[in-house]
């Protein structure tokens, strides 16, 4: 059996935490013993323990990649637990501690974001590359876009393994369950409904979506838009909605704990990111239900899409192109039924949580066998 300790610094349940939860649900319990180290008070503790994983709470390192004070504590914990592999989710503190304890170190990059200027040139680029190569035996990127992002900051792409995320299938709500939701949000069964499930930040492109909605309205098309999520840019988006006169078409749902309710109402899911995007779990969950998507060509989005099969892409920050794509989908017969069928097929072939777990364990096995020259415990 291979013992794996995951180290994650998140105090809330974000994308990396949800990926870890998905893995633990489908892990091979016979061959992998998996534990998790996380900050004291993290909201991840309860769901991880519910999945049968041993959880260790660590003082410090909360929402920090690098916390010098946590390195000693993590080294002591690693020494006590004695895992074969330490898998860190963005935690440099965890990587340093694991390397100093002589463990196999795996690091997953869960995000894509603009590279800071000092990391693009000498000496920052060379130093960043050296540190990441030294403190990781294997680097995982959740999208080819993340590989490019790492390479821009000095990391050798040959050291990076692409591992696309996978999610549990989301069960579509029955019509009897949807009726009160439609009434609550002012929807009709025959109306066309768009939706975006994402934090409301400027780089998520909510205003671009509103601009596209205005363009559609000028052409006589009035789809409804559901915006699920909260964030630092929420008031600006609401003000832009009012300025465009779209209040009757847009519903701000706030934080949504059960995405199945929202996804079941949608004809198309949107993602208009232009500043950070690796692999949207919300898109994958929609795919599992047969909800096609129209997404920007930024970051990892294009690697989720097969044009005309599970949706379409458009150039990021181009509301007119987005409106054209949405009009194209709205004009399809049977509300894009063929797109829905293609979407479910692609999900089953590429993006299930079970496939993701097996692919993760292949990386674990290979890393461990390289360390031990093929000798398994």
Rounded to whole angstroms, the Cα distance separating 196 from 283 reads: 9
How far does CA 232 lie from the centroid of its chain?
19
Cα angle for residues 363, 2, 93 (degrees, 5° grid): 70
**β 193-197/224-228 pair status:** parallel
- Which of 15-24, 128-137, 367-376 bottoms out in mean pLDDT, i.e. has the lowest? 367-376
What CATH number was assigned to the domain covering residues 175-350? 3.40.50.2000
Q: For residue 336, name the pLDDT band (cuts at 50, 70, 90).
A: confident
pLDDT band of residue 275 (cuts 50, 70, 90) is: confident
Q: What residue spans in the chain does CATH classification 3.40.50.2000 cover?
A: 2-166+353-372, 175-350
Residue 376 pLDDT more than 70? no
Model-level pTM greater than 0.95? Answer: no
Is residue 208 a contact partner of residue 241, using CB atoms and an 8 Å limit?
no
> For residue 6, which of 78, 72, 110, 69 has the smallest C-alpha distance?
78
pLDDT of residue 374: 59
Q: For residue 355, what pLDDT band results from cuts at 50, 70 and 90?
A: very high
Q: Residues in the chain, how many?
A: 377
Cα dihedral 154, 157, 162, 165, rounded to 10, equals 10
How far, in Å, are 51, 52, 71, 113, 184 from residue 68 at the CA level? Answer: 30, 30, 6, 24, 50
Q: Can you point out the beta strands (E) in 211-259?
A: 224-228, 250-254
Q: Which whole number is the average pLDDT over 322-345?
A: 92
Strand order in the sheet with 85-89: 54-58, 32-39, 2-8, 85-89, 104-109, 138-141, 160-162
Query: Residue 33's pLDDT band (boundaries 50, 70, 90)?
Result: very high
User: What is Dmax (Cα atoms) for the chain?
Assistant: 67
Across the chain, mean pLDDT equals: 95
3-class SS at 118? Answer: helix
Q: Is the pLDDT of residue 145 over 70?
A: yes
Instruction: Please measure the distance between the N-terminal and C-terminal CA atoms of the chain and give it in whole angstroms.
Output: 6
Q: What are phi and psi of 138, to 5 degrees?
A: -145, 135
Using DSSP, state whether 49 is helix, strand or coil: helix
Angstrom distance (rounded) from CA 272 to CA 312: 12
Q: Residue 43 has which token pair?
A: 């909201």
Q: How far is CA 370 from CA 2, 6, 103, 373, in A?
A: 13, 19, 12, 5
What CA–CA distance (Å, rounded) separates 3 from 5? 7
Packing angle of the helix pair 15-26, 281-289 (nearest 10 deg): 50
Integer CA distances (angstroms), 30 to 34, 53, 87, 369, in order: 11, 13, 19, 17
- pLDDT at position 372: 83
The candidate with the shortest Cα–Cα distance to 189, out of 173, 201, 197, 178, is: 178
- Provide mean pLDDT across the span 279-299: 97
Rounded Cα–Cα distance for residues 107 and 160 (Å): 10
Report the chain's C-alpha Rg in angstroms. Answer: 22
Residue 339's pLDDT band (cuts 50, 70, 90):
very high
At 371, is the pLDDT very low, low, confident or very high (cuts 50, 70, 90)? confident
Q: Is the pLDDT of residue 167 over 60?
A: yes
| pLDDT over 90 percentage in the chain | 92
Q: What strand order describes the sheet that includes 250-254?
A: 250-254, 224-228, 193-197, 268-271, 293-296, 311-314
Nearest in space to 278 (alpha carbons), one of 16, 94, 9, 7: 16
CA distances from 226 to 204, 206, 299 (A): 15, 11, 23
Task: Write the class of the CATH domain 2-166+353-372.
Answer: alpha beta
pLDDT at residue 375 greater than cutoff 70: no
């Amino acid at each position: 059996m291979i013992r794996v300790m995951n180290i994650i610094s998140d105090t809330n349940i974000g994308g990396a935490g949800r990926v870890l939860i998905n893995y633990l649900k489908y892990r091979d319990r016979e061959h992998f013993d998996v534990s998790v180290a996380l900050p004291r008070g993290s909201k991840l503790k309860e769901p991880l323990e519910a999945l049968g994983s041993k959880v260790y709470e660590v003082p410090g390192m909360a929402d920090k990649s690098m916390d010098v004070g946590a390195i000693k504590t993590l080294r002591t914990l690693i020494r006590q637990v004695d895992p074969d592999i330490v898998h860190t989710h963005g935690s440099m503190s965890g990587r340093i501690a694991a390397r100093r304890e002589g463990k196999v170190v795996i690091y997953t990059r869960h995000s894509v974001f603009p590279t800071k200027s000092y990391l693009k040139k000498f000496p920052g680029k060379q130093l960043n590359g050296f540190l990441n190569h030294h403190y990781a035996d294997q680097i995982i990127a959740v999208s080819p876009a993340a590989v490019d992002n790492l390479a821009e900051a000095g990391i050798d792409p040959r050291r990076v393994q692409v591992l696309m995320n996978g999610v549990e299938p989301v069960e579509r709500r029955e019509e009897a369950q949807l009726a009160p939701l439609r009434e609550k949000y002012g929807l009709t069964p025959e109306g066309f409904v768009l939706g975006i499930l994402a934090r409301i930040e400027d780089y998520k492109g909510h205003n671009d979506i509103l601009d596209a909605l205005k363009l559609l309205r000028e052409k006589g098309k009035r789809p409804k838009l559901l915006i699920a999520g909260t964030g630092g840019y929420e008031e600006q988006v609401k003000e832009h909605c009012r300025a465009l006169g779209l209040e009757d078409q847009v519903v701000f749902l706030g934080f949504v704990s059960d995405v199945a309710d929202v996804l079941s109402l949608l004809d198309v899911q949107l993602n208009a990111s232009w500043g950070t995007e690796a692999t949207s779990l919300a898109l994958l969950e929609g795919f599992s239900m047969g909800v096609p998507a129209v997404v920007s060509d930024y970051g990892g989005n294009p690697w989720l899409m097969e044009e005309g099969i599970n949706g379409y892409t458009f150039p990021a920050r181009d509301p007119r192109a987005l409106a054209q794509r949405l009009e194209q989908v709205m004009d399809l017969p049977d509300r894009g039924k063929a797109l829905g069928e293609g979407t479910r097929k692609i999900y089953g072939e590429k993006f299930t949580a079970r496939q993701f777990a097996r692919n993760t364990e292949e990386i674990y096995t290979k890393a461990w066998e390289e360390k031990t020259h093929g000798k398994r415990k």
